[in-house]
Amino acid sequence: MKTKDFSYELVHKDANCEARLGKLNVFGKVVETPVFMPVGTQATVKFLSPEDIKSINASIILGNTYHLWLRPGPETLEKAGGIHKFMNYDGPILTDSGGFQVFSLADRRKIKEEGVTFKSHLDGTTLFMSPEDSIHIQESIGSDIAMSFDECIPYPSKYEYVKDSVDRTLRWAKRGKDAHKRVDQALFGIVQGSEFEDLRKYCAQELVKMDFDGYSIGGTSVGEDKATHYKMLDYTIPYLPKDKPRYEMGIGAINDIFEAVERGVDMFDCVLPTRIARHGTLMTSQGRINIKKNIYKDDFSPLDPECDCECCKNYTKAYLNHLFRANEGLGNRLMSIHNLRFLIRLMEGIRAAIKEDKFLEYKEYILNKYDFDERGF
């Protein structure tokens, strides 16, 4: 079924690498790419209101199909008129398929050709999700962009296991695409293949034949080293169409974002910025700050003088240090706002650099200036 009013426009490609500036038309709403998407697992970006999301200039967010399936449930979301009305957020929303839980809840699931049996992490109830179920749940959720159901392969895995898994992911992709009926919801296929070049190429080429609205690069950042991670991208991207969006799933480290953009990736999401914020770790133009340290107890300077977020414009390091030590929720909110705005500002800078054919210069400048460690934050 042909999706209406969803398209990708390549605006400009950097003259010195594969980095691309684009526009994603999401049913009348424009998302400039490359873009970072805050993660709203359970119909909320942790500690942030929809108004906060808009204030940091986030243009699209992500929801989690598995968690929304368990609660509040697709029936409630349908009654509410979809996830946008349920959470009072009118921007574009992307949902994953539940496939990542096949990986992350490995001790609670069994994979068969028909689908996956889960043990609920909430109460241990046995649940089953097929590729068709995943699509129907996402249609009930009412996200703007849905993902086909896949198996996110653990690293490392043996070649024969990965080959069988890729073949199953392709069969699941076909079943999910056949089940997808909403013309007001785009559907992406997910490329798997672990570290094996021939399997990545094969999976990408077969998914392209199915003609999805966009393509996700899955199975990266699952424990592999950086060199292997970037090889996975090199083994995938050349086989994806230039007129469709490319989305690398679960990426939020700055070095990883730069490497992926340089290779032509358009979209990213990750819980990293909000998760590390809740532990007092903040990404700033002066490098990484651990706000719980005693040195900030009487530091009345802003967190980051180069940042324009609510946190940096109005509050000091000393106050954030106090909020963290007192375990006050406001601290989580302010620090999450900052880390997300930091990454979104980074993407704004990346887009401006691509437009001027200066992406590689910007990459070198930022990585030298921020001096984060090998983790990329």
Q: Identify whether 304 is a catalytic site residue.
A: no
The three-state secondary structure class of 290 is strand
Contact 236, 217 (CB under 8 A): yes
20-26 and 29-33 as β-strands: parallel, antiparallel, unpaired? antiparallel
Element (H, E) at 61: strand 61-63
Q: What angle do CA 66, 105, 337 make, to 5 degrees?
A: 60
CA distances to 50, 102, 172 from 333, rounded to whole Å, are: 12, 30, 39
Token pair 């480290």 in the structure block, residue: 253
Q: Identify whether 96 is a catalytic site residue.
A: yes
> From the candidates 14, 96, 133, 150, which is the catalytic residue?
96
6-13, strands of its sheet edge to edge: 6-13, 20-26, 29-33
CA distances to 288, 299, 310, 324, 325 from 294, rounded to whole Å, are: 15, 9, 23, 12, 10
Cα of 46 vs its chain's centroid, Å: 15
Instruction: Report helix angle 329-355 to 359-370, nearest 10.
Output: 150
Classify burial at 89, counting beta carbons within 10 Å of its beta carbon; exposed 0-12, middle 13-18, buried 19 or more. Answer: buried
CA distances to 31, 231, 263, 267 from 349, rounded to whole Å, are: 15, 25, 17, 15
Q: Determine the Cα–Cα distance for residues 56 and 153; give it in Å rounded to an integer.
A: 34
CA distances to 1, 72, 86, 136, 351 from 75, rounded to whole Å, are: 24, 8, 12, 11, 39
Q: Determine the Cα–Cα distance for residues 341 and 53; give it in Å rounded to an integer.
A: 9
> From the candidates 14, 150, 269, 304, which is the catalytic residue?
269
Q: Determine the Cα–Cα distance for residues 194 and 218; give it in Å rounded to an integer.
A: 9
Residues with a catalytic annotation lie at 96, 269
